[in-house]
Amino acid sequence: MNAIRDYVLSKRTKGFVLRNDSALRRFGHLLPWWMKSIMRGAMRKGPIRHEALINEQLDPKDLFDRFFAGRPRPQFYGKCVSSRHFDAAGTKTCQIMFRGRFNDIFNANEHYLALEPDFSNIDDVLAAFRDPARRQHVADAAYNLVRTKHTYAQRMQQIYDFLAASDQR
């Protein structure tokens, strides 16, 4: 990541770049929303730019070729479940996601429509998504899973049970 950041910053030839990890950026988080909006607009056009805004102007293919092409896939899988997955399940929204483990909570093509990383099954996934009955079935399965096994109360009970069991050891 640092090599990519350094490369991105090297592409900027004039002006000042506000880095993601700078003290000024941390100060910016303290500003009111309206002031942040004004500053964000100014940084898109002015001599002071935010690192993230420079990233938007780079060619993704160049970045891929320069930093990722030819590298082996990591031994450990990094996809995990997040609140956005639970939000979608809780609102009965059918999710299309790259196939993954997601902490072994959601199962591919049962709780979400699984897209292969190379998009080789995009036609099948879109056909399943366009089918209202299939889409509803997947959304309902995810919703039922979350409602029966992953509520706040159930998660707290799991923590309590874990702590109680380790206290008895």
- CA-to-CA distance for 167 and 62, rounded, in angstroms? 54
Q: By C-alpha distance, which of 100, 97, 85 is closest to 142?
A: 85
**CATH homologous superfamily of domain 83-167?**
Glycogen Phosphorylase B; (3.40.50.2000)
pLDDT of residue 146: 94
What is the value of pTM for the model shown?
0.56
pLDDT tens over the chain, length 169 residues: 788 888 877 776 567 777 777 787 778 788 898 998 888 788 777 777 777 766 666 788 888 898 888 888 777 666 688 889 999 999 999 999 999 888 889 999 999 999 998 899 999 999 999 999 999 999 999 999 999 998 889 889 989 999 998 877 6
- Domain boundaries in the chain? 2-67, 83-167
What is the chain's alpha carbon radius of gyration, rounded to the nearest angstrom?
Answer: 22
Q: How far apart are CA 93 and CA 113, in angstroms?
A: 11
